[in-house]
Chains A and B, each alone.
Chain A
Amino acid sequence: MSVGFIGAGQLAFALARGFTAAGVLAAHKITASSPDTDLPTVSGLRKMGVNFTVSNKDTVKSSDVLFLAVKPPIIPFILEEVGPDIEARHIVVSCAAGVTISSIEKKLSTFCPTPKVIRCMTNTPVIVREGATVYATGTHADVEDGKLLEQLMASVGFCTEVEEDLIDAVTGLSGSGPAYAFTALDALADGGVKMGLPRRLAVRLGAQALLGAAKMLLESEQHPGQLKDNVCSPGGATIHALHFLESGGFRSLLINAVEASCIRTRELQHLADQEKISAAAIKKTLLDKVKLESPSLSVASASKVSLFTNKSKKN
């Protein structure tokens, strides 16, 4: 089986690294493409032994499982570009936040009658094989196609199938989750440094504390509230610290974060559905076929870039 990545950024790099480390795929069976060869991840991919090309079409041709690993606003352009090369054998896996299966199927159906589409939401720790991935299968993707993806993604962490309407919530929780954790770890380390620890040690200990706690929770039948209680001796240090967290509304901040990420994902999907896009989002893409109505674009401006000009090209 060969795997291709349209896009050679953080996501492609993380997945390629994870798959090769897990031994489910040899590097030479992986192809990645991007118009931008200056990305730091490009040299990383090359060093891994992944085939790198600037041609998205080459990636499609040499892959069975095709990951769309570009930013959400770019997806329509990619589908337009590689659509003609998509065959019934391909399993197209979109990892783009907020991009619906139906929007992808709609786009591809102009080229291929029954495109196999799977939508997936993963996260960066796939790079160390501790990813959190969910997927939903499209109209023409069989059970085996889903299982194939699940096998791949399970090699780099936790993977389970969900209904598509839950994917935005997953984005808010585990998609963005590592960023919340990094923020927390940075702050914990600051706390350690304030109280006298050298920075490196503080970072190491903070990370290990979170890793250990997460592992305990995953391996325990107990509710996190119970596990927390187990750490809090009466009148001790921990309960004093927790009181501070509660006073700061720590819990609600986390709830707010997950909610905000989920809502923003839906907003972006809505914007995409309306087929409007900002110039900043497309600056890295080769867009000679896209007509720009005005040199200075913004989402708020009246002149928008129009996608899906179906009348323009079709063979």
Chain B
Amino acid sequence: GAWPRLAMEASELWVGFVGAGRMAGGLVRGLLQAGKVPASNVLASAPSDKNLDAWRELGCRTTHCNLEVVHRSTVVFLATKPHILPGVLEEIRPAVGSHHIVVSLVAGVTIQTLQRLLPPWTKVLRLMPNLPCVVQAGAMVFSRGSNAGDEEATLLKSLLSSCGLCEEVPESYIDIHTGLSGSGVAYVYLFAEALAEGAVKMGMPGALASRIAAQTLLGAAKMLLETREHPAKLRGDVCTPGGTTIYALHQLEKGAFRATVMDAVEAATNRACDLAKD
């Protein structure tokens, strides 16, 4: 386009969101919390005001015009529902320049599709975040399209590490990430609920049990991340011979817990692949 190339400094970055739903909201909260981008530099568009109110409360600017987002931003996050995206891309195509960095969060839409529907010079990246980005403890993976280079990847990584773990991967890992971590968050919620339920059965009040269950998961995860030990080793460290833990683990093994979890990751990954084909 005719617009001058905008500064690449993160603090002077203009960031736009086409689509203002839950996932986009999670990312922007992370960015703002970490001070990566001032709220006034953020512009989000959505068809209705329903979602945009929350953005305004954060200090972001809002619009109903997708083109305006593209005109006023360097980094453009595409965060629409999958079936909406093709129409949106058609709409913004004329405004997309070689200075733009287009980052798609849209589930199931491949880089190939994105590049087909955007001008040939577009720098495209595909991102798969997960919900805890909202609390800056997300797990995100991204892949680059043909025109995205090291500079764009580094910028994206630097922006997004404000929201949690952010790694570049080959595109083929993105569906796996969905199965592991995108949906994975729900498995953890299920596990937390079941833990608490067990405690309630044994006589603990529910609210307390829930808080303790969550803290247990948090603490265990923190130890995993910080000690870098193999989970099997950490598990062994907790198991006193003949003690409570090994008795409990035996129950989990009897229930083929591990296989069930593997099945879950596999099912979600396969479903992600299937949806992408549609």
Contacts and interface: CB of A to CB of B under 8 A. Distances in A.
Interface of A: 222-226, 229, 243, 246-249, 251-252, 255-256, 259
B232 A246 contact: no
- Secondary structure type dominating chain B contacts: helix
Contact of A225 (B230, B255, B259, B263): B230
A248 B236 contact: no
B82 to A, nearest CB: 25
Given A249-B256, A252-B254, A255-B253, A243 B233 contact: no
B250 interface: yes
A226 B233 contact: yes
A225 B231 contact: yes
B232 A251 contact: no
Given A229-B230, A252-B250, A255-B250, A223 B236 contact: yes
Nearest to A246: B259
Interface of B: 230-233, 236, 250, 253-256, 258-259, 262-263, 266
B253 A248 contact: no
Contact of B256 (A225, A229, A252): A252
A252 B247 CA distance: 11
Nearest to A243: B262
Nearest to A226: B230
B258 A246 contact: yes
- Secondary structure type dominating chain A contacts: helix
Given A226-B232, A229-B230, 20 more contacts: A223-B232, A223-B233, A225-B233, A226-B230, A226-B233, A243-B259, A243-B262, A243-B263, A243-B266, A246-B256, A246-B258, A246-B262, A247-B259, A247-B263, A251-B253, A251-B258, A252-B250, A252-B254, A255-B253, A256-B254
B230 A223 contact: yes
A119 B262 CA distance: 45
**7 tightest CB-CB pairs across the interface, nearest first?**
A225-B232, A246-B259, A252-B253, A247-B259, A252-B254, A246-B258, A223-B233
A233 to B, nearest CB: 14
13 contacts: A222-B230, A223-B230, A225-B233, A226-B233, A246-B256, A246-B259, A246-B262, A247-B259, A248-B259, A249-B256, A252-B250, A252-B256, A259-B250
Contact of A224 (B232, B250, B256): B232
Contacts of B253: 249, 251-252, 255
A243 B269 CA distance: 15
Contacts of B231: 225
Contacts of B263: 243, 247
Nearest to B251: A252
A222 to B, nearest CB: 8
Contacts of A225: 230-233
B272 to A, nearest CB: 15
Interface centre among B233, B258, B262 (most CB of A within 10 A): B258
Contacts of B232: 223-226
Interface centre among A243, A246, A247 (most CB of B within 10 A): A246
Contacts of B256: 246-249, 252
A266 B236 CA distance: 26
Contacts of A243: 259, 262-263, 266
Contacts of A246: 256, 258-259, 262
A15 B14 CA distance: 80
A137 to B, nearest CB: 21
Contacts of A222: 230
A238 to B, nearest CB: 13
A173 to B, nearest CB: 12
A247 B233 CA distance: 22
Nearest to A247: B259
B138 to A, nearest CB: 22
A233 B19 CA distance: 38
